[in-house]
Amino acid sequence: MNLNSYDKIPWTDITSFGQQTMLKSHLFTVSWILARFCNYSCSYCWPYARSSTPDHQDLEIYLKALDSIKAQARANEFTDFHFSFSGGEPTAYKYFGEIIDHYCSDTAPDYQSIHMTTNLSPGSKWWNKWLESTKTLHRRSITASYHAEFANEQEFGDKCLQLIDNETFVTINQVMVPEQFDELYQRLERFATRGINVTLKPMSDPTASYVVHGYTEDQIAKMRQGFPQKWNGEQIAQIALYDSKGTKYELDQAERFNAFGFNKFHGWECNAGYQGCVIRENEVKRSYSCHDAPLGTLDGGFELFKAPQECITYSCVSSADSKIPKRKV
């Protein structure tokens, strides 16, 4: 199908979906918030999302947890891995390089990839070192968060292109604040003109429970259809969706789900906690949005599910959660 025609997907008739690599292979994914510490102090950032004081765990706790996740996932017959690191700002952790090196030192997986959500504040030398450390991985990707209060637009775009030129998939993530929509959209157009992918992220409430009100119909349409993701000049389709007749549809990224209001999966069967998990500082959970009890903690131990579980959450607004394979029952 034409990837620009996302509004032709029969959203109310979709009965299963998920990230294509998770549907096609034995891939286990981890979305890991290392800590809340960030070297930026943006005026619009929610207090719970950042800290000016370093709040990281000891390096050994991180490494032990990484090994435990892989061991438990392998026991469930997931042999390939994708780890996504964020914060706060992950690059602000002084031992972050050691975590990356430990992750990349595992040569057993047939496929292993890495993702980071970062403000790109380190200089080009830091990124050259990161590129060298991760060169053995099968795929590298970056979600680059642009913050106009601290970053220079030209320099930020230059760093994105440095990474893209070294075979790293990059997209600039922008929360589309309704009151600033036009200004933000124009900046994204400038980045897109330079050949950089951009993501229009609907703004959620402070508890990340729902998308805020205030968008016009035109703004919603732009978030639904604007700037399809590309790699090497070709449009990509990270998400596969199937309707009740088994017809397949494709979407470039799960971030668009919120714009279409496709984020309520209560009662569906979900692989979160079984084929993926999230870590928020010390807490290990099946997903960011999930209302059930945590799977455990980094310092006290945790246990992944042995099989898919029923979704008990009424609204799923995190793309890290919504991309996990789900089936309507």
The mean pLDDT value for 134-161 works out to 95
Rounded to whole angstroms, the Cα distance separating 313 from 277 reads 15
Domain range spanning residue 51?
6-327
Q: What average pLDDT score do residues 160-164 get?
A: 97
Q: Domain count of the chain?
A: 1
Collapsed DSSP state (helix, strand, coil) of residue 227: coil
Express each pLDDT in 300-320 by its tens digit: 999 999 999 999 998 888 889
In a domain, 70, yes or no: yes
Rounded to an integer, the average pLDDT of 164-188 is 93
CA dihedral of residues 106, 238, 252, 122 (deg, nearest 10): -10
User: Cβ distance 196 to 188 under 8 Å?
Assistant: no
Beta strand 269-270 with 309-310 is antiparallel
Burial of 321 (0-12, 13-18, 19+ CB in 10 A): buried
Contact 278, 288 (CB under 8 A): yes
Q: To which residue do tokens 């036009």 refer?
A: 182
> Which pLDDT score, from 0 to 100, does residue 4 have?
52
Establish if 153 belongs to a structural domain: yes
- Tell me the per-residue pLDDT of 7-60, one tens digit each, with 9 for 90 and over: 899 999 999 999 999 999 999 999 999 999 999 998 877 777 788 899 999 999
Mean pLDDT over 210-224 rounds to: 89
What is the pTM for the complete model shown? 0.91
Taking 90 as the threshold, does the pLDDT of residue 208 lie above it? no
Burial class (CB in 10 A: 0-12, 13-18, 19+), 123: exposed
In a domain, 215, yes or no: yes
The full 3-state SS of 159-221, as one line of letters, equals: HHHHHHHCCCEEEEEEEECHHHHHHHHHHHHHHHHCCCEEEEEECECCCCCCECCCCCHHHHH
CATH number of the domain to which 51 belongs: 3.20.20
**What average pLDDT does this structure show over 61-81?**
98
Residue 1 included in any domain: no
Q: Which residues have a Cβ under 8 Å from the Cβ of 207 and sit 6 or more positions away?
A: none
As given in the structure block, the two tokens for residue 201 are: 């992220």
Alpha helices per DSSP H over the chain? 20-24, 59-75, 96-104, 124-133, 153-165, 181-193, 217-225, 257-260, 319-322
pLDDT tens, residue by residue, 243-282: 999 999 999 999 899 889 999 999 999 999 999 999 998 9
Report the relative pairing of strands 296-297 and 301-302 from DSSP bridges.
antiparallel
Q: Is 223 helix (H, G, I), strand (E, B) or coil?
A: helix
Structure token pair of residue 218: 């035109």
Please count the residues of the chain. 329
* 159, 191, 220, 287, 290 from 270: Cα distances, Å: 37, 36, 28, 10, 11
Strand 169-176, strand 296-297: pairing? unpaired
